[in-house]
């Protein structure tokens, strides 16, 4: 039996500077999917050859109560934060930061110096932490592309990467505070992939740049879909003459209250007020940028 699609929608524009960004989650239908309370699609951008490289980021800002996960499809992403972490990842890599009880971070997005396309393209998720983890100290991981688990599908159908969670014997380095998964599926022309699901877990799909057929229904590039909670499989078919890429994600339903405001996601309005108060009182520290 195949799962049913509960709804489909498109992201709303949320541009920063000259970056075209689509806010996929939250949306008018869903506040969260599993532990994921936020998803931005930073659309592909081709940078001029004579454009200067960013050096200090898009703008320092605070977070509390979540972990941010940036999956870099193309480009180079440089991370800075007030806990002293600084690193770069390139195409296919992941930046993960647990904000915990408060941190300020900044990122800059440049073309990958090892690629000729001069294209940047990425996804950013926010993972809602359980209340016990919202009060912990910040942490950070930079994972390069070669350390992201990947497996070829049989019969040359494509491949699957495990960005978070696990798939079969593959396990991501990204910490899990509840059941969660993010898969990047690359499916060759005319091929089909099926995913067995776990009852009561929440599942969603985001079609990056190509049309696809999910459980016998065609959907278009840029669409976000959430599936029902019934048992069943998710079947994806590539109807085009070229390979497609689809992001599948979800996990265990978040059991605590969700109160989100600006860059903070907590469990009550009082905790949101405390998050702002601590930020304005300088408790999150400051970023010291490298020379």
Q: Is the pLDDT of residue 52 over 80?
A: no
C-alpha torsion sign, points 218, 23, 270, 286: positive
On whether 107 is known to bind a ligand per the annotation, the reply is: yes
On whether 105 is known to bind a ligand per the annotation, the reply is: yes
The SS3 assignment for 83 reads: coil
Mean pLDDT of 21-36: 96
List the domains of the chain with CATH numbers. 5-47+62-281 (2.60.120.10)
User: For residue 4, what are its two tokens?
Assistant: 């049913």
For 189-211, what is each residue's pLDDT tens digit? 999 999 999 988 999 999 998 99
Q: Which residues pair with 283 in a beta bridge?
A: none
**Given this model, what pLDDT does residue 63 score?**
98
Mean pLDDT of 177-199: 96
Mean pLDDT of 117-133: 96
**Given this model, what pLDDT does residue 50 score?**
73
**Given this model, what pLDDT does residue 57 score?**
64
On whether 169 is known to bind a ligand per the annotation, the reply is: no
For 59-83, what is each residue's pLDDT tens digit? 899 999 999 999 999 999 999 999 9
Q: Is the pLDDT of residue 51 over 90?
A: no
On whether 47 is known to bind a ligand per the annotation, the reply is: no
- Residues with Cβ within 8 Å of 3's Cβ and at least 6 positions away in sequence, in order, are 197, 203, 215, 227, 228, 230, 231, 232, 233, 234
**Given this model, what pLDDT does residue 59 score?**
86
Q: Tokens 């910490």 — which residue?
A: 175
Mean pLDDT of 21-42: 96
Q: How confident is the model at residue 1 (pLDDT cuts 50, 70, 90)?
A: confident
């Amino acid at each position: 039996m195949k799962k049913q699609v509960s709804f489909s929608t498109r992201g709303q524009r949320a541009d920063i500077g000259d970056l075209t960004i689509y806010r996929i989650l939250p949306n008018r239908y869903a506040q969260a999917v599993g532990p994921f309370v936020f998803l931005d699609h930073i659309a592909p951008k081709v940078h001029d050859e004579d454009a200067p490289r960013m050096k200090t980021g898009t703008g320092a800002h605070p977070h509390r109560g979540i972990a941010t996960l940036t999956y870099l499809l193309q480009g180079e992403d440089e991370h800075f934060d007030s806990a002293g972490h600084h690193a770069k990842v390139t195409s296919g890599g992941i930046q993960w930061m647990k904000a915990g009880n408060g941190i300020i971070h900044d990122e800059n997005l440049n073309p990958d110096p090892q690629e000729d396309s001069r294209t940047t393209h990425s996804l950013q998720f926010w993972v809602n932490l359980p209340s016990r983890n919202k009060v912990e100290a910040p942490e950070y991981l930079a994972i390069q592309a070669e350390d992201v688990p990947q497996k070829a599908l049989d019969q040359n159908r494509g491949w699957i990467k495990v960005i978070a969670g696990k798939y079969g014997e593959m396990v991501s380095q990204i910490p899990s505070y509840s059941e969660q998964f993010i898969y990047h599926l690359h499916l060759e022309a005319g091929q089909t992939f099926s995913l067995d699901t776990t009852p009561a877990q929440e599942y969603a799909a985001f079609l990056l740049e190509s049309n696809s057929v999910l459980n016998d229904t065609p959907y278009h590039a840029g669409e976000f879909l959430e599936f029902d909670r019934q048992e069943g499989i998710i079947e994806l078919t590539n109807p085009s003459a070229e390979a497609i890429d689809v992001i599948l994600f979800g996990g265990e339903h978040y059991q605590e209250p969700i109160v989100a405001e600006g860059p903070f996601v907590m469990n009550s309005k009082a905790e949101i007020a405390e998050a702002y108060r601590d930020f304005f009182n300088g408790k999150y520290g400051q970023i010291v940028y490298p020379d």
